[in-house]
Structure 1
Amino acid sequence: MGSYFGISTILVLCLLGFSANAEVFNVPGSPGSDITPALLKAFTSACQAPTPSKVVIPKGEFKLGEIAMTGPCKAPVEVTLQGTVKADGGSIAGKDRWVVFEKINGFKLNGGGTFDGEGNAAWRENNCHKTFQCKKLPISVRFDFVDNADIRDITSIDAKNFHINVISGKNMTFDNIKIIAPDHSPNTDGIHLGRCDGVKILNTKIATGDDCISVGDGMKNLLIEKVVCGPGHGISVGSLGNYVWEEDVTGITVKNCTIQGTDNGVRIKTWPSSKCTTTASGIHFEDIILNNVSNPIIIDQEYCPWNQCNKQKPSSIKLVDIRFKNIRGTSGNKDAVKLLCSKGFPCQNVEIGNIDITYSGADGPATFQCSNVVPKLVGTQNPKACTGPVVKAPGSA
C-alpha cells in the first residue's frame, strides 16, 4: 500500500523529528483564494522527494475544494496547516469527502490551523432523522491506509458529516485535536475509526452533534486518553453488526476522560438482527468523570435507530471481557447504568468496579439495569448494582 521504510529508519525519523532538515514546499495563495491546485502540486512534489519533506499552508483564510493527497511517497511527508481552509461548497457538493490523506507511510499533520467544513447550510437541508433519505455529504478529513502518523494541534469546525474518519491505519497518534460543532448538527461524529491497529487519541477536546468518538469494526489496540467530550453522544464502541463483512474488535481502552452534557457516556452498541457474528472483546472504560450525562454507562445490544431492524431477532455480536472501572459523577436521568445484553449471546466476563453516579431528579433515585448478563462486582457501586458475584477491591477491608 506504500513505500515502507526499515524499522531503524523509522526510529531515527521519530527521534530526530523529520521536519528539521526537510525540504519545504510552500503553498502560495492570497487571502480568500482557492488553493486546491497549489496544495495538490506542493504535496505531489513533496511526495516524490527522495528525502523527508514538508508542505506549508500559511496563515490566513483560504478556500479548498475536494482534494486527495495520495501516496505511496518516497520518504516521510509533513503537512503544516497554519491558517484556515474553508470547504468550497460548489466543488464538494454531492461528494462524500473533502480532504483526504491516503496510502502514506510516515506522515505528520500539524501547525495549529483549522479545517472549516462550513456545515450549517448542509445540516438544514439534510433532514435525515425524518426522511431517511440523506443527501451525500462530505466527511471533512479522511485518513485512509495511513501508517506511522502523528496528527496534532489541528482544529476541525462545523463538518458537514464526520469531522475525522480513520480507516485501515497502523501506528497513528492524534494529540491535542479540537473538534467543534453545535449539538444540533446531525451525523457529525468527531473521530470515527475502523479497521485500524495501534491508534492513540490523546489530550483532545470534542464538542459536536453526534458521537465524540465512534469505534467501528476491525479495530485493534485503540487508546483514548485525556479526552474531554461534550456536547455530543459520548464515546461509543459501535454500532456493530449492521453489515455482513464486519471484523472482530479487540483491545479498546478509554481512560482519564471527562464527559459532560452528552446524551450518552461510555457506550457499546450492537444491532439486533445482526448481519454477521463477530466478537468485541477487551473493552475497558476506566477513570471517567461524568457531568450531567444521560445514560452514563450503557451496553445496548438492542440498538435500532428509527426502528430500522427486527428487534425480535437478538444481536449475534459477542461481547467478552468488558470493564467499567472508577467511573463517577452525575447523571442527567435516573438510568445511570444499563447493561442490556443479547439474549442470544449473553455478555461474558463483564466487570463493574467502583461506580459512583448520582442523580438528583424528582423521579430518582438512580437505577442500575441488567439483562442477559451477570456482572462481576468489584468494590462499591452507587447505584446499587444488579445481582452478581461480589469481589472486594484490592486493599479494602
Structure 2
Amino acid sequence: MVKTKPIGRAVFSLFLIPLIAKYQAAVVDIKTKGAKGDGKTDDGPAIMSAWKEACGGLLGGGLLPETVLIPPGTYFAAPIQLKGPCKGPIEIKATGATIKAPPEVAKFKTDGWIEIEGVDKLTMTGGNYDGQGQATWKSNNCASTGVCKLPAVSCVSLKLFNIGVSIL
C-alpha cells in the first residue's frame, strides 16, 4: 500500500474542489428574481430574468443543464419569451407549480403566451400550464374569422416530462 503525505492530499483536494464546482449544474429559482407565486402578481419578468441567467450561464460548464426552478405555487405570467441560443443544456423544472396565462387577449402583444425560440437541448419537467382557454376564447375572434396564429417554436432536442396543459 502506498502512503501519501497529508500535504499531497491537501494540494490534490484543493485542485479538485474548483474542478468539481465548475461542473455542477446551476439552479436559478424564480423566487430569487422576485416571483411571488400568489396567482395575481405578474411573475413573467421573474421567469424571464431566471431564464436569461440560466441560458447565459456557464456554471454547468456547458455539460450539465442549467435549471430554471419554478417552485410549487400558482404563478400568473403575462406573455413571456424564452430565447436562445443558450450556452448549454437547460431545464425548466416546475414540479407542483401552475403557471397561468392572463385571460385578457388584449395583454398579448405577441401571437403566443409562452414563446420558446432558438433553444437547443431544452427539457421541461412538471408543472401545469393553464392557458385560461375558456376566458380567452370569449375575447378573440378566431372562431369567426378562422385566423388563428400559432406561435413559432424553434427547438432542437425538446423533452417534456409530466406536464399538464389546460387550453379549455
TM-score when scaled to structure 2? 0.69
Aligned residue in 1 for 2:131 = 117
Q: Is the 8 A contact 2:78 2:108 kept in 1?
A: no
Q: Is the 8 A contact 2:79 2:108 kept in 1?
A: no
CA-CA distance at 1:94 after TM superposition? 6.0
Aligned residue in 1 for 2:30 = 27
Letter in 2 for 1:71: G
Q: Does 1:97 align with 2:100?
A: no
Secondary structure at the aligned position of 1:88 is classed as coil
CA distance in 1: counterparts of 2:27 and 2:47, whole angstroms: 13
Aligned residue in 2 for 1:217 = none
Letter in 2 for 1:38: A
Letter in 2 for 1:84: T
Q: Is the 8 A contact 1:103 1:146 kept in 2?
A: yes
Q: Does 1:148 align with 2:161?
A: no
CA-CA distance at 1:100 after TM superposition? 1.3
Q: Does 1:88 align with 2:97?
A: no
CA distance in 2: counterparts of 1:26 and 1:94, whole angstroms: 26
Unaligned runs of 5+ in 2: 1-22
Secondary structure at the aligned position of 1:74 is classed as coil
Higher relative contact order (CA 8 A, sep 6+): 2
Q: Is the 8 A contact 2:84 2:117 kept in 1?
A: yes
User: Of residues 79, 86, 89 in structure 2, which corresponds to 1:66?
Assistant: 79
Aligned residue in 1 for 2:88 = 75
Instruction: List, as ranges, runs of 4+ consecutive aligned residues in structure 1 with deviation greater than 3 Å.
Output: 89-95, 124-129
Q: Is the 8 A contact 1:63 1:87 kept in 2?
A: yes
Secondary structure at the aligned position of 1:97 is classed as coil
Superposition pairs of residues 1-397 of structure 1, within 5 angstroms: 21-28=24-31, 29-30=35-36, 31-32=38-39, 33-50=41-58, 51=60, 52-82=65-95, 83-90=97-104, 92-93=107-108, 95-111=110-126, 113-126=127-140, 128-129=142-143, 131-132=144-145, 134=147, 139=150, 144-158=153-167, 181=168
Q: Is the alpha carbon distance of 1:24 and 1:143 closer, same or farther for their aligned partners in structure 2, counting shifts above 3 Å?
A: farther
Question: Identity over the aligned pairs, expressed in percent?
Answer: 28
Task: Considering fraction of residues, name the structure with more strand.
Answer: 1
Q: Is the 8 A contact 1:92 1:98 kept in 2?
A: no
Count of aligned pairs between the two proteins: 134
Q: Is the alpha carbon distance of 1:76 and 1:133 closer, same or farther for their aligned partners in structure 2, counting shifts above 3 Å?
A: closer
CA-CA distance at 1:39 after TM superposition? 0.6
CA-CA distance at 1:133 after TM superposition? 5.9
CA distance in 2: counterparts of 1:36 and 1:120, whole angstroms: 21
> Cα RMSD between the aligned structures?
2.4
CA distance in 2: counterparts of 1:96 and 1:132, whole angstroms: 16
CA distance in 1: counterparts of 2:142 and 2:81, whole angstroms: 27
Q: Is the alpha carbon distance of 1:79 and 1:124 closer, same or farther for their aligned partners in structure 2, counting shifts above 3 Å?
A: same
